[in-house]
Structure 1
Amino acid sequence: MPGMLEKPPAPAADYSYWLPRHRKSVAAARKLLRGFLAAQPSGELFVETGELVLSELVTNAVLHAMTPPGRLLYVHLSLHPDALRIEVHDAGAGRPYARPATVEDEAGRGLWLVSQLASRWGCCPRAGGVGKAIWATIGSGR
């Protein structure tokens, strides 16, 4: 079950960017994450897990958020000494949920994967009342 948005400690570094609601944005998000982490001390600790979690959150926003045409996705990354926080904001109204997937299903495992890789994750309404923010925190031990 996702938790409410928590207020993390001040980051050592943070980075934000906007992406179009398009399938190609998943690869662009991973590339931007790699560049951000490469420039940070100990950023390499979070690259592999960060890419997986970010890919799933952006994919969910692109495919399932029901975002109105012309709206963008907002991604915010915060690197703390022992954790990476990833937030993906979209203008869709629905809340994501992990659902059971059968062996035959070709989709439906993304949020389960996020729940296994992240130390915490959750969803909350965005400030201003339009859309939601889905966040995940990845500890250096993961």
Structure 2
Amino acid sequence: MSPQTKPQSPVTVRVFSQQLSSTPRGARLARRLVAERLDAWGWPYASELNEAVTLITAELAANAVRHGRVPGRDFRIRLTATDPTVRIEVEDAKGEQLPAIRPAGGDAEGGRGLVLVAALAGRWGADPRTDGVGKTVWAEVRGHEPVRKPR
């Protein structure tokens, strides 16, 4: 190694993936599993990153159940942490229309989920799946390094 070359520190990548039923119960479980996994990886429940990623997961999972459900098909969450960025992906079985932020009426009961995702995430988007039918909606949150060693 030359004196001008700095050694690169190793990159830690953590991945968690789970297939869940396309039901409200599956969406609630997605939120809970992500919060627990982040805590295990060193971002405690009350940390800003854990709370942001957990809320994003809740919104994306609810959308997958509400708008991306195909009877008999599940949805999948995938959480990838490359310190200090965490990426959440939610795959569902409907790819005909990619999600977009649309104005919600003042009295509308829905339509604000992606506004929250956009506010909390550094980046977010949706892509048609290349390995099957459906789409992947993803968001990335950049935070701090984990506060403790992963379990």
Preserved contact between residue 126 and residue 133 of structure 1 (Cα < 8 Å): yes
SS of the residue 2:91 aligns to: strand
The whole-number CA distance in structure 2 between the counterparts of 1:50 and 1:82 is 13
The whole-number CA distance in structure 1 between the counterparts of 2:63 and 2:93 is 12
Code of the aligned partner of 1:70: G
The aligned counterpart of 2:5 is none
Query: Do structure 1's residue 54 and structure 2's residue 68 form an aligned pair?
Result: no
CA drift of 1:35 comes to: 1.7
Code of the aligned partner of 1:61: A
Preserved contact between residue 11 and residue 78 of structure 1 (Cα < 8 Å): no
- For normalisation by structure 1, the TM-score amounts to 0.85
Identity %: 38
CA drift of 1:82 comes to: 1.1
2:103 paired residue among 97, 100, 103: 100
Query: Do structure 1's residue 16 and structure 2's residue 20 form an aligned pair?
Result: no
CA drift of 1:13 comes to: 0.7
The whole-number CA distance in structure 2 between the counterparts of 1:127 and 1:61 is 18
Q: How does 1:1-142 map onto structure 2 within 5 Å?
A: 12-41=13-42, 43-44=43-44, 45=47, 46-65=49-68, 67-93=69-95, 94-140=97-143
Point out the more displaced range, 108-117 or 126-135: 126-135
Preserved contact between residue 72 and residue 90 of structure 1 (Cα < 8 Å): yes
Q: CA RMSD in A?
A: 1.5
Q: Give unpaired runs (5+ residues) of structure 2.
A: 1-10, 145-151
Aligned length: 130
Preserved contact between residue 12 and residue 78 of structure 1 (Cα < 8 Å): yes
Code of the aligned partner of 2:25: K
CA drift of 1:83 comes to: 1.2
SS of the residue 2:41 aligns to: coil
- Poorly superposed stretches of 4+, deviation over 4 Å: none
The whole-number CA distance in structure 2 between the counterparts of 1:91 and 1:77 is 18
CA drift of 1:11 comes to: 5.6
What whole-Å deviation, never above 9, does each CA across 1:1-55 have from its counterpart, x for those lacking one?
A: xxxxxxxxx76211000000001112101111122112113x2342100111000
